[in-house]
Amino acid sequence: MAVASNGLDQPESSAPEQILVTGTRHDLFRYLTSPLAEEYRALLGLLAGPLLADYSPAEAAALLSERGHHLTEDQVYARCEALERWGNLVRGVRDTHAATIREFHRGRNRFHASKLGGRIYRDTESIMSASEGAREVARELLGATVERLDSILSRLDVLALADAGESVSALDVEALAGDVTVVFSNQRLFNESVSDFYAYLNQVLTRYDLVGSEYQQFKELLLTYIGLITADVTRHTPAIIDRLGQIDGRMNTLLTLLDTQARLIAHDGSAAEQQAGRTAEEWALLTAWYTGSAGRSGPDTLRAAADQALGQLLTNAKRMLAAAGTGLSRRDDLIKLAGWFDKSDMDTAHRLFAAAFGAYSSRHLLLGPDIALTVDGVSTSWWDAAPVDVPVSLRERGDRSARGRTSPVPDPGLAREAVLASARLEIEARRAASAELVAAGDLDGAHVSPAARDLVMDQLGNLMAIHQDLSSTLSFSDTDLGMVLTVVPDPNRVTVISASDGAVSIHGVSLHATPDQETDDARPREAALA
Amino acid sequence: MSPSVTSAHEAVERRLAARALLANPILSGLHHPDQLALVRRHAPWLRQMYFSRTGYSLIIETGFARLSKAPLDADTAPRPALRTTGQPFTSRTYTCLALLCSALLAPAVGDQVLLSALVEQVRADAASADLRLSESTDEARHLVQALHLLIDWGALHETEGTVVAWGLRADEVLLDVNRPLLPHLLARTLRDIDTPATLLTPKLTSANQDEPRRALRRKLIENPLVRREDLSDAERDVLSRERTELTRVLDEDFGLVLEVRAEGALAYDPDDDVTDLTFPGRSTVAHAALLLTNALIDDLSPKAGQIVTLPVATEEASDDGFPKETPPTRPGALAPWSTVEANVELLIERYGPYFGEGYRTNASLLLNDTVRLLESMSLAEGTETGLLIHPAIARYRPEPQRLPTRAARRMGSTIDDNSSPLWFEEKP
């Protein structure tokens, strides 16, 4: 880094950030960030403003004081020197004949703006004076461009004809050059205004607080204006591409003709800065802007930008609908409320909170008779009315949960065992009873255990439930018990089954119990499985 | 399924949804997804019902439901926002809350915000409102509490980092902002309201003949107890004439049971959940409050129609030409502070083992908290001379068995002590 090697001895430039880059074109911008920027700008306004201004510090000081900047001659001189060092000013020497030493010095110190210094000054001032608002897009230029390109083509025709015969008229070439310059500067202007417009749109659309009329305004701006631009671009683009294609075919002629113009050559032999449109590359770039042959075309970019802006507009609209347009006023309300809270005592603050937010929970007493009692009427005092049943745990311990240790969790395995065992006992008892019946065979007059008797009654009940009219011989086989009960209707028979606790007489049937063959076969298998 | 079963099922769902909104007027889908689903299912009915019954407006969106309640009457117990510790907000915390809400509505805040940026906006807003907002840890605590409430409401969500960590170590927090909810945090616009007093005094709209009905319903739905003397004539009229209808509405729509007595009316909640404070409840304070009032009823044995005249502040009773205001009277019984204190000490002695740590040794703390709970349930009122208990507390009076008084206990212990050497008595 070139620090201090530059011999900068001014105290104001000793701060590190001021001498980071020196001896380059960056220096040209230095005056803008200086604490004395306003004075520098005023001074440059004098020296770079009008054409060919050239002032001595004394003259400059006088002119500046007219504009409200009161600087001494020495101060102006110091400023001028600084600007000279940065490259914004150039010391001009004019041959004067001085009568005094002082006058001689003054005469030698005249300043005027350098080329780049003047340009920076003009650009800076145009940015400084630009408005924050939208800039109109120079869309009329598109039509003009088509016309100019046509005119270039017709001039080329004329010149080509003339070329065949006599020498080229210098006047026509000049007009051609003028057209070319206009085409390119129009294009630049159009480009700049479009990018300004979209930059502005983006800046606006990223704001969250667009409401009401403001929003309306932007919506119209977007919908109509973007529409216009896009339509214009779409309309003129094909014509422009067509003309550019024709010119491209005669590019050599065009460039040769333009080259015949008087050129400015610097003292060291290098060519001076040219106007745009004098090289094939520039024409190619222009064509590419419209056709998109080098990446994305200008019209496409514009359309994409329009889409993006519309999308953002939708997002904003959505947000606005969600906020119901109350965002701003609610903000004011809340700040006002904060002030009230700050000045109120606790109780008022609680009430303000409840009133402003309205977000308090309902509050109710708990417990009451499940069914409203009718004993106590509306004129009964609470002192006399029947009290509510408060759980003892709540009254005694302030607790409604069950107290004490948790009881052991019963082992389901044991319970299952017990259930299985009882089921086994039951089936065994029934099998024993059925075996008893099977052994008896004809049940009339049989003396059996009460369990066997009950089994007969059960089975008979089931049988009667299924066959309600006993017209023929029925048999009911219970494979579980391995018994078949046969019922033979016989109106004259009375079957008497006696047991230790009494006898049962069944009229109109005779009953027989026989072993069930299938079950007998199955049982060994079952036993083997068990 | 038969239609009657379906409609009964529907009715149960509607009631659950209505109750959920009563307890959480800002019902966030983040914290109460099931309840919000119910509310959304019955949205049209709920909107209509709330508007016609109470005049409340109900906004139901995808991620939240917002029931905007009316300001509370001045004669009801205040309903503070609660900190995470259960303590009420202070004025400062409310200030922070309002500033946070306004900062969230600032143009620069999108769907997500860094807490540090939000706090910067709060400071900017505070400066524009001429409020001091220091950078002390105390101030940070207020902000954290207010942030917790906003998180509870579902207006904010901690995406990365926690608000607590920010309060302790200034760690950065990324917060999701529920932007659709923000404009609905304030229940009403304050644009035309210039002073806090205007906000707190509800407008009297006598034009609407349904107004006393709605007002009475609101009072019964929102408050644990409605004193008869606090009702307007029209409201009292509605209470006496349309009691059956009122009972039906409260039960069918909100699952509350209306109980009207000589001294007032209340709607109790048999299902225990539409309330921010539970009484009777499990905490030491609720337990002590129940026992204390039981003891006081025993001591005072108040009668129906008993009236207590509240002392009027002395400076008001000057004779400057105005007719002397008749001192306000309240039904109820006044227990002198000495009696209350004695009873609290007795309770600690008797029930200490069941009480929370801090309360066993600190009778005055227990007394204060107990009185505050009773006051917030509108069941008692601390006055200069003593504790005024409202007759409604008699709902919870004990079964006939009572606590032996201190004197009786002393007597009992004396007899016990002397019981073994009986022969002393017989000594001539």
- pLDDT at res. B341: 93
The DSSP code sequence of B48-90 is: HHHHHHH--EEEE-SSEEEEEPPPPPTTSPP---B-TTSPBPP
* Peptide bond just before B270 cis, omega within 30 deg: no
List the Cα angle B67/B68/B69 in 5-degree steps: 105
**Could you tell me if A511 and A485 are in contact, meaning their C-beta atoms sit under 8 angstroms apart?**
yes
Structure tokens at A244: 């550019």
Q: What backbone phi and psi angles, to 5 degrees, belong to A132?
A: -75, -20
B188 CB neighbours in chain A (<8 A) are 356, 358
CATH of region B91-184: 1.10.10
**Residue A47 pLDDT more than 50?**
yes
- Give residue A17's pLDDT band: very low, low, confident or very high (50, 70, 90): very low
Measured between alpha carbons, how far is A387 from A395 in angstroms, rounded to an integer? 13
Mean pLDDT, to the nearest integer, of B378-391? 91
Report the interhelical angle of B33-41 vs B3-23 (nearest 10°).
Answer: 120
Structure tokens at A268: 């060291």
Contact state of B290 with A346 under an 8 Å Cβ cutoff = no
Q: What backbone phi and psi angles, to 5 degrees, belong to A54?
A: -155, 105
- pLDDT at res. A13: 44
Closest chain A residue to B265, measured at CA: A378
Residue B23 contacts A, CB cutoff 8 Å: yes
Rounded to two decimals, the pTM is 0.58
Sheet holding A502-515, edge to edge: A474-478, A483-499, A502-515
Contact state of A388 with B128 under an 8 Å Cβ cutoff = no
Contact state of B280 with A367 under an 8 Å Cβ cutoff = yes
pLDDT digit string (tens) for B141-187? 999 999 999 999 999 999 999 999 998 888 899 999 998 888 889 88
CATH architecture, domain B3-68 = Orthogonal Bundle (1.10)
Report the interhelical angle of A57-66 vs A37-48 (nearest 10°).
Answer: 110
- pLDDT at res. B426: 36
Mean pLDDT, to the nearest integer, of A303-315? 78
Measured between alpha carbons, how far is B205 from B222 in angstroms, rounded to an integer? 20
Distance from CA of A384 to the nearest CA of B (A): 7
CA torsion B99-B101-B105-B106 (nearest 10°) is 20
- Average per-residue pLDDT in chain A? 77
- pLDDT at res. A471: 77
Query: Which helix or strand (DSSP H or E) is residue B158 part of?
Result: strand B156-160
Cβ contacts of A423-431, under 8 Å, gap ≥ 24? A427/A480, A430/A455, A430/A480, A430/A481, A431/A481, A431/A482
ipTM over 0.90: no
Which distant-in-sequence residues (6+ apart) come within 8 Å of A100 by Cβ? none
- pLDDT at res. B264: 92
Rg (CA), chain A: 56
Lowest-pLDDT range, A92-106, A500-514, B18-32, B256-270? A92-106
- SS3 of B258, please? strand
Residue B353 contacts A, CB cutoff 8 Å: no
Contact state of B261 with A376 under an 8 Å Cβ cutoff = yes
Query: 307-326 in B: which are within 8 Å (CB) of A?
Result: none
Structure tokens at B43: 């949205």
A368 CB neighbours in chain B (<8 A) are 257, 259, 268, 270, 395
Contact state of A361 with B79 under an 8 Å Cβ cutoff = yes
Residue B292 contacts A, CB cutoff 8 Å: no
The partner residue sitting opposite A368, judged by closest CB among B88, B262, B270, is B270
pLDDT digit string (tens) for B58-72? 999 889 999 999 888
| Residue corresponding to tokens 């303590």 | B87
Contact state of B290 with A209 under an 8 Å Cβ cutoff = no
- pLDDT at res. A448: 86
Closest chain A residue to B110, measured at CA: A208
A344 CB neighbours in chain B (<8 A) are 91, 196
**Residue B423 pLDDT more than 80?**
no
Residue A354 contacts B, CB cutoff 8 Å: yes
Tell me what percent of the residues of chain A surpass a pLDDT of 70. Answer: 77
B97 CB neighbours in chain A (<8 A) are 341, 353
**Could you tell me if B363 and B344 are in contact, meaning their C-beta atoms sit under 8 angstroms apart?**
yes
B294 CB neighbours in chain A (<8 A) are 395
pLDDT digit string (tens) for B112-139? 899 999 999 999 889 888 888 888 888 8
Residue A332 contacts B, CB cutoff 8 Å: yes
**Residue B419 pLDDT more than 60?**
no
